[in-house]
Structure 1
Amino acid sequence: MKRMIIITLSAGGALLLAPLPAQAAAPKDPVRALKAKLVAGHGVRFTETTTLVDGSDKQVLQRRTGTFQFSRKGVAAADITAKDRRETVPERVITIGKVSYLSGGLWAEKLPEGKRWYRTGGLRGGGAGFYGQVINPVEPSTLAALVKKGKRAGNTLTGTITFKELDKVSPWFGASIPLRFHDDTKVSYRLTLSGAGLVTKVSSSYAATGVFDTSGFEGKTMTIDTRFTSWGKRVSIKAPAPATVSTKVDD
């Protein structure tokens, strides 16, 4: 097909060339965009809402806010606060590498006198992790799997992935929900991307019995909406003072 350039005359009789229409920019690669942001000492913030859906009835189970600190490979540290509908004291979780420090929430009454934090090698998402977002787009391996299995349309990526598949690629998933009932549970996901290819929102949903196989969750769906902001912001997450930490809690 021939391309045409429209020639017009200016008021003074000079020839003017009309500019050609700008070509649409090629879609950015989300995985490449993420890796470019993985700089030690920098990170991203998120806010999150978890809702239990039963037909037309919707019940908010918890809300979370947090920050991820990066390493070159993904998440190096995290600081997350969760407000559960049942707890009066918010739960806070600080994770450095593979060590987590838990405070408030269900831990408030379990710690020895004078201690504020419980140190453990698991539960990266704390107790709230069992209700939290199962998809972490800050992990390159996880994001790559979502891109591979999903379908891209403009600035959105949609698809499905199972708990078992997530467990293979996502350290976040395995540490947040170490105990679950059905590994074949399918997670429907929708990722919203910025013009730079960075994830700005993750919406996921799955059968609630995938994690909690009890009569109270039968036929209900867990939906989680997470928004990501301040990509690349400087972040410094530190462990609590040793004097405030315990390695034991009451049963």
Structure 2
Amino acid sequence: MRRMIATLTGATAAALIAPALVAAPANAQAAPAAPAAQIAQTDPVSALKSQFRTHRGVKLAENSKIIGEGKNNRAIFSRRNGVLEFGKQGVVASDLTEKFTLPGAEKELKNLFGPSRTLMVKGVSYISGGFYGDALPEGKEWLRVKGGAVVAGNPAQQIVNPLEPATLKAALAHTTAKRPGGTWDGTRTVVHSGTITLGELYKVSPTVRALLGAKPSAKSATLPVSWKLYLGPDQLVRRAVSSWTQSLRGLTSLDMTYLNDSRYSGWGVKSAIKAPSAAQVADFDELDLGDEQSEDPYTQVFKD
């Protein structure tokens, strides 16, 4: 069990060379939007930076899928919902819940992939439930994990993070098509689409560097990541979709495809996310990890 838990704190994403429901808090209130005439002519990166105000943020609703394209062709589905809070340089805090669905998986694995809630504050993540719930000491509700760019345990998070100015700029520079994108967050959008390599994303994106855990190999760096960004008339992103496939043949005898669909709404929402009480927090070395576990849950799910 100790080996399995250690893997889930970050090594799973690195080993796979890959990136992984609650509403917004009841007291969250959307800030008045700037007049359309004032912001319609700005570019997406400038529009994003204008949202970087203390105790303001955006709501996130995200669906992810990991598909093991091997003999069993299984899939893991996950949903994340909550609020991302900005500071002057970008996202500084978040409050997200996550729920997994494992069609056809054994009951034991379903328990391992239980619902969880993660608070990220000042670069530290606090995780309640999920993989870690049963291992926490009595009276403790949260596991503290350093490093807040990625929620531990899910390698199918949004690999093209449109809340990072450099990532947004790099992706849009690879736009190959534009068309009407439908209505999202109550506003009509234009969808920009294209591809960017994993290596290019690694250079500009803190999220990707955290997801991968190490610089991609020369072969992996050339992998194409397909993306779509839906921009409103204010140039803010309302939806981001990405997908890419990594061959793991020789390790698990399959290919892994990662699909992510993130929806952003309520730009300017008020938020004041705080870390949990210290009395309810445990560190990794306090966990009751039980017996050794030779395989991480992702390998078990997709095992031929």
Q: With structure 2 as the length reference, what TM-score do the two structures score? A: 0.66
- Of residues 152-161 and 172-181 in structure 1, the stretch that sits farther from structure 2 once superposed is 172-181
> Partner of 1:40 in structure 2?
54
Tell me if 1:159 matches 2:173: no
1:194-233 map, 5 Å: 194-209=232-247, 214-215=252-253, 218-233=254-269
Task: Provide structure 1 residue ranges, at least 5 long, that are not aligned to the other structure.
Answer: 1-24
> d(CA) in 2 for partners of 1:162 and 1:117?
36
Q: 1:89 to 1:219 in 2, by over 3 A?
A: closer
- Letter of the 1:83 counterpart: K
> Partner of 2:203 in structure 1?
168
Q: Percent identity?
A: 35
> Partner of 1:127 in structure 2?
152
> Partner of 1:31 in structure 2?
45
Bigger RCO (CA 8 Å, 6+ sep): 2
- Larger fraction in helix: 2
Secondary structure in 2 matching 1:168: helix
> d(CA) in 2 for partners of 1:71 and 1:225?
24
Tell me if 1:89 matches 2:124: no
- Letter of the 1:35 counterpart: K
Larger radius of gyration: 1
> d(CA) in 1 for partners of 2:60 and 2:268?
13
> Partner of 2:124 in structure 1?
99
> d(CA) in 1 for partners of 2:74 and 2:171?
27
> d(CA) in 2 for partners of 1:240 and 1:148?
40
> d(CA) in 2 for partners of 1:72 and 1:148?
24
How far off is 1:214 after superposition? Answer: 2.3
> Partner of 1:67 in structure 2?
83
Q: With structure 1 as the length reference, what TM-score do the two structures score? A: 0.78
Tell me if 1:244 matches 2:280: yes
Structure 1 residues 97-137: Cα deviation after superposition (integer angstroms, max 9, x where no partner): 21111111001122222211111212643334312211221
> d(CA) in 2 for partners of 1:245 and 1:135?
31
The alignment yields a C-alpha RMSD, in angstroms, of: 2.7
Q: 1:27 to 1:191 in 2, by over 3 A?
A: farther
